[in-house]
């Protein structure tokens, strides 16, 4: 134990938690884990957005297939929601998008503390409502008749 961790038990505990191994998740139908699957909690926290996208694709979560619902947990990898979190790398939007993707992948592989927060669910509902209103308005303008009363 180094002097730094000996004098700081909280730091020593954090380092130990980052060393915890993760069991690679096997992809269906091949049975092979993704080559960049994180082997420790530290590796999980160091995943980039591109790596998280590749993992979601490998495990049939970003590109729906016959295997998407065969995993114990779904990522709910909603590309449309991520597109609303626009921003180049290094911006607040990109940082938030990375945080959400990391949390979704963490939940998918069974890490504690990666549940979807209520605020995110509420934001997604507001976004979907807005998209529905916009689509209904657009279709009504195009002359299509709908027996629909817009919510107030």
In this predicted model, what pLDDT tens digit does every residue of 90-138 receive, in sequence order?
555 778 889 989 999 999 999 998 888 888 788 778 888 988 999 888 8
Separation in Å, CA 93 to CA 44, 82, 98, 137, 149: 20, 10, 9, 28, 34
| Of 72 and 87, more confident | 72
Question: Helix (H, G, I), strand (E, B), or coil: what is residue 21?
Answer: strand
For 80-90, what is each residue's pLDDT tens digit?
666 666 655 55
- In this prediction, residue 13 carries a pLDDT of 85
Q: Which of 77, 73, 80, 74 is nearest to 101 (CA)?
A: 77
**Which three-class secondary structure state does DSSP give residue 145?**
coil
pLDDT of residue 102: 95
Q: How far apart are CA 35 and CA 130, in angstroms?
A: 39
Residue located via tokens 């998008």: 97
pTM metric for this prediction: 0.70
Position 33 scores a pLDDT of 92
């Amino acid at each position: 134990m180094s002097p730094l961790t000996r004098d700081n038990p909280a730091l020593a505990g954090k380092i130990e938690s980052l060393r915890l191994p993760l069991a690679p998740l096997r992809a269906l139908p091949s049975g092979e884990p993704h080559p960049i699957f994180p082997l420790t909690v530290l590796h999980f926290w160091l995943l980039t957005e591109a790596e998280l996208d590749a993992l979601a694709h490998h495990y049939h979560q970003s590109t729906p297939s016959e295997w998407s619902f065969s995993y114990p947990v779904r990522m709910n990898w909603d590309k449309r929601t991520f597109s609303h979190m626009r921003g180049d790398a290094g911006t607040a939007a990109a940082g938030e998008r990375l945080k959400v993707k990391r949390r979704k992948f963490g939940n998918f592989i069974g890490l504690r503390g990666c549940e979807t927060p209520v605020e995110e669910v509420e934001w997604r509902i507001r976004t979907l409502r807005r998209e529905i209103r916009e689509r209904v308005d657009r279709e009504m303008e195009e002359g299509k008749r709908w027996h629909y009363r817009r919510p107030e």
